[in-house]
Amino acid sequence: MIPFRVLCIDSTSKPESIPNSKWVKKNQVYTVVQVDKLNMQNNTLGYKLYEIDIDPYYPYQYFGAWRFAVMINDISQEAQKEYEKVITTLIEEIEKDQIELIQHAKTLNIPTN
């Protein structure tokens, strides 16, 4: 993955187990080195940051993408295309999971609306 920069726009709701020194700060710029789907948070996107490693604070390994604004003008066209590809793939996976859940609910006669 090509790293890209983001601006922190939400540093609220820090888990108690993570020290302040290992938490993002609002209006600070960070470098995203990995993007992944957060299964424990309803398949939202998560970012691993170059500047802050929270892996030792399991289960927290990623910062929620909603905390950041992507600095599109700051990244190359190649990185933009890769980012869009990751987002598209994750959206497709989420839609597939939702369809499977609806189909399973129908087999159990659970209303889906």
- How do the domains of the chain map onto residue ranges? 4-107
Q: Which residue has the higher pLDDT, 50 or 93?
A: 50
Outline where DSSP puts E strands in the chain. 4-8, 29-38, 44-49, 63-64, 68-70
Return the pLDDT at 50: 96
Outline where DSSP puts E strands in 9-43. 29-38
Return the pLDDT at 8: 95
Return the pLDDT at 71: 79
**Residue 16 confidence class, pLDDT cut points 50, 70, 90:** very high
Q: Give the other-Cβ count within 10 Å of 67's Cβ.
A: 19
Region 20-36: mean pLDDT is 94
Region 85-106: mean pLDDT is 75
pTM of the model: 0.67
pLDDT at residue 95 tops 90? no
What residues form DSSP beta bridges with 62?
Answer: none
pLDDT at residue 75 tops 70? no
The number of helix segments (H) and strand segments (E) in the chain equals: 1, 5
Q: Which residue has the higher pLDDT, 75 or 16?
A: 16
